[in-house]
């Protein structure tokens, strides 16, 4: 075993996106690529000498190999301890919890989230800070700067570490501690929720299906829902994490979790359905015959969270990303608590959570979470829903109907245009940006524009400013279209168009969402000329 300093050249294109660095797996497997990025992270955080790091990932192809490289580099860079999930597995929220619980100096999470996995699919790596949250922009900017001036990296030459056996071993002076990936996280969930009430719910015959999509939440969901809460065996389906997620797209939405949707909207539907994504931070909620949009789920959870022990004293505030619907704003107004609007990306919630300004946060991209960790948390959302269902005794459809009757309904849909040549996508956004100053007051496809701007955010805690965070155009009567480029894709560009329409009239609460959103969809096309400029007449994915 000996320490090596390997000469390398800076690699272009290692700029972290919305959530760390995501690339094709083969890119990460390329010569020096992973090593460069890991060394850039270490350098950007002032080195790892004497530090402890949490390391784990979602089990996708290359997860195990990448962890061996990271461990050898952490040892070579003088780290004192690496806390690794058994088999290299840690869901993103479980990793966040472990970083916090063990007071470690941060963590490296290996995942490309909901993107497919495999040698020809996607891989990703992100650094989370000691508060357990994704690195904020000033840290990822530093990582990028380091990656551009790297001339060498440190690694020890040694045989592989056994990732399967629980306990401690040593690697070139660094302690490697292999931990159960589920136990600490399951204990945290038990503290937050009324497990007795949920247990009684299942004992009374309540049935659900949890689709783990062959991704990381399988072992977590089986341990908590089936072993701990008494849901019947088989409640968790697709529960074994596979390196290629069974060839699927582990994104919990009605398109990619179609089997679950078909079940829940069909005659054999159980009371409740849920799914989570590749790394376990996203969730989908669907009741019998009733799909709940992520924005509505956030609003409902904020309105009913007091039914769970951890939130019984009320919420300090709530936060949502800008493209997320304003449904939660209406709940916050009624509760008399603050509601923050942040750019897309969970990292923007970190300061609000740390400062105790927000308790629950959420995003339209199927992420909800609270101040229990610093990541969104798929199973947490499922358990909070179960807690609310158990204590209220109502069904998902009843809860949503009552919610809309009280707060109004923010109809919502996201249209994704994928694999667009980057120049074309930039042209659409640049043209819109140029048109913004003259838009207010104009009529587009019959709707009057009430305001139009490009979203910028000043963090209320540290004053940092993030500009260029999406174009938002509000129309009359609570209708809104938002345009932004995805920050998580690995091929071409994806334009996301987010559509919203508020209805408060009791007769308007059960419309087909496509009908309720048709006017704003037409106005969005009129104002953006997206179809004309990209040649795409319809979105690739509608959620």
Given a contact cutoff of 8 angstroms between Cβ atoms, the answer to whether 411 and 534 are in contact is: no
Segment near ligand G16 (CB under 6 A); pick from 215-223, 293-301, 397-405, 482-490: 482-490
Q: In the complex with ligand G16, which residue's Cβ is closer, 128 or 344? A: 344
Per-position x/- string for 100-119, each x denoting binding to ligand G16 as judged by CB under 6 A, each - no binding: -------------xx-----
Residue among 318 and 396 whose Cβ is closer to ligand G16: 318
CA dihedral over 532, 537, 541, 543, signed as positive or negative: positive
Q: Counting contacts by CB under 6 A, is residue 251 touching ligand G16?
A: no
Q: State which of residues 213, 496, 497, 520 lies at the interface with ligand G16 (CB under 6 A).
A: 496
By CB under 6 A, tell whether 282 contacts ligand G16.
yes
Helix (H) or strand (E) holding 210: strand 208-211
Packing angle of the helix pair 92-101, 378-392 (nearest 10 deg): 90
Nearer to ligand G16, 23 or 496 (CB): 496
CB of 510 to ligand G16, least distance (A): 28
Is residue 113 flagged as an active site residue?
yes
Q: Does 43 bind ligand G16 (CB under 6 A)?
A: no
Residue placing its CB nearer to ligand G16 in the complex, 235 or 342: 342
In whole angstroms, how close is the CB of 461 to ligand G16 at the nearest point? Answer: 18
Residue 96 in contact with ligand G16, rule: CB under 6 A = no
Count Cα atoms within 13 angstroms, Cβ side, for 514.
3
- Direct distance between the N- and C-terminal alpha carbons of the chain, in angstroms, rounded to an integer: 51
Residue whose structure tokens are 């809860």: 399
Q: Does 345 bind ligand G16 (CB under 6 A)?
A: yes
340 binds ligand G16 (CB under 6 A): no
CA distance 142 to 76: 21
Nearest to 219 by CA among 111, 88, 367, 107: 88
Strands 360-363 and 317-321 turn out to be parallel
Asked if 368 touches ligand G16 (CB under 6 A), the answer is no
Measured distance CA(22)–CA(445) in Å, rounded = 38
Structure tokens at 462: 């540290």
Beta bridge partners of 107: 54, 128
> Can residue 503 be called a binding residue for ligand G16 (CB under 6 A)?
no
Name the catalytic one among 104, 113, 295, 297: 113
Is residue 258 packed enough to be buried (19+ CB in 10 Å), middle (13-18) or exposed (0-12)? exposed
- Number of chain residues interacting with ligand G16 (CB under 6 A): 17
- Count other Cβ atoms within 10 Å, centred on residue 538: 8
Name residue, tokens 């020890």. Answer: 156
Work out whether 60 is an interface residue with ligand G16 (CB under 6 A): no
Helix axes 327-335 and 396-407, enclosed angle (nearest 10) = 70
Task: By CB under 6 A, name the one of 140, 147, 276, 488 that touches ligand G16.
Answer: 488
Q: How far apart are CA 223 and CA 326, in angstroms?
A: 35
- Of 35, 105, 296, 363, the one binding ligand G16 by CB under 6 A: 363
Residue among 317 and 367 whose Cβ is closer to ligand G16: 367
Q: For residues 93 and 317, which CB has a smaller minimum distance to ligand G16 in the complex?
A: 93
Q: Is 281 in the site for ligand G16 (CB under 6 A)?
A: yes
Spatial contact of 133 and 55, defined as CB atoms under 8 Å apart: no
Q: Is 344 in the site for ligand G16 (CB under 6 A)?
A: yes
Minimum CB separation of residue 414 from ligand G16 in Å reads 9
* Shortest distance, position 314 Cβ to ligand G16, whole Å: 25
- Does residue 346 bind ligand G16 (CB under 6 A)? yes
Q: Which residue has the tokens 């040698």?
A: 119
Site for ligand G16 in 4-23 (CB under 6 A): 18-19
Q: Site residues (CB under 6 A) for ligand G16? A: 18-19, 113-114, 281-282, 321, 344-346, 363, 365, 367, 486-488, 496
Which residues are known catalytic residues?
Answer: 113
């Amino acid at each position: 075993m000996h320490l090596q300093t390997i000469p390398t050249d800076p690699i272009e294109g290692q700029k972290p996106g919305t959530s760390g660095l995501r690339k094709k797996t083969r890119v990460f497997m390329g010569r020096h690529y992973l090593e460069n990025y890991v060394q850039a992270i270490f350098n950007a955080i002032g080195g790892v000498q004497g530090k402890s790091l949490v390391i784990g990932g979602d089990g996708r192809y290359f997860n195990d190999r990448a962890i061996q490289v990271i461990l050898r580099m952490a040892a070579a860079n003088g780290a004192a301890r690496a806390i690794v999930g058994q088999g290299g597995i840690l869901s993103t929220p479980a990793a966040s919890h472990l970083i916090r619980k063990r007071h470690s100096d941060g963590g490296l999470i290996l995942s490309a989230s909901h993107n497919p996995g495999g040698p020809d699919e996607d891989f990703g790596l992100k650094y989370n800070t000691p508060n357990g949250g994704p690195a904020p922009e000033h840290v990822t900017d530093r990582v990028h700067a380091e990656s551009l001036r790297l001339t060498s990296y440190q690694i020890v030459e040694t045989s592989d570490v056994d990732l399967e056996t629980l306990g401690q071993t040593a690697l070139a002076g660094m302690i490697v501690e292999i931990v159960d990936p589920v136990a600490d996280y399951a204990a945290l969930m038990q503290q937050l929720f009324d497990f007795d009430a949920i247990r009684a719910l299942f004992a009374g015959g309540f049935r659900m299906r949890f689709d783990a999509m062959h991704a990381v939440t399988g072992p977590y969901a089986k341990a908590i829902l089936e072993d701990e809460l008494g849901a019947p065996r088989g409640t968790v389906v697709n529960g074994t994490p596979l390196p290629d997620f069974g060839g699927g797209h582990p994104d919990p939405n009605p398109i990619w979790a179609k089997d679950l949707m078909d079940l829940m909207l069909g005659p054999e539907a159980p009371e409740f359905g849920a799914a989570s994504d590749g790394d376990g931070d996203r969730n989908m909620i669907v009741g019998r015959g009733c799909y709940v949009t992520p924005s509505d789920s956030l609003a409902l959870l904020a309105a009913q969270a007091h039914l769970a022990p951890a939130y019984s004293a009320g919420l300090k505030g709530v936060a949502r990303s800008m493209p997320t619907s304003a449904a939660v704003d209406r709940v916050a107004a009624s509760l008399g608590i603050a509601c923050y609007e942040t750019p897309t990306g969970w990292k923007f919630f970190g300061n609000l959570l740390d400062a105790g300004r927000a308790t629950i946060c959420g995003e339209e991209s199927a992420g909800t979470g609270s101040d229990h960790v610093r990541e969104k948390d798929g199973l947490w959302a499922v358990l909070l829903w179960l807690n609310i269902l158990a204590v209220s005794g109502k069904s998902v459809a009843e809860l949503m109907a009552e919610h809309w009757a009280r707060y109004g309904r923010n109809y919502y849909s996201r249209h994704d245009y994928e694999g667009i040549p980057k120049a074309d996508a930039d042209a659409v956004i640049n043209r819109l940006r140029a048109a913004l100053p003259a838009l207010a007051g104009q009529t587009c496809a019959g709707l009057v524009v009430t305001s139009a701007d490009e979203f910028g955010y000043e963090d209320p805690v540290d004053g940092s400013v993030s500009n260029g965070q999406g174009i938002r155009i509000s129309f009359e009567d609570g209708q809104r279209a938002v345009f932004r480029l995805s920050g998580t894709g690995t091929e071409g560009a994806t334009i996301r168009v987010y559509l919203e329409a508020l209805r408060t009239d009791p007769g308007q609460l059960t419309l087909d969402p496509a009908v309720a959103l048709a006017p704003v969809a037409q106005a969005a096309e009129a104002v953006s000329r997206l179809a004309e400029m990209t040649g795409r007449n319809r979105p690739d994915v509608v959620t």
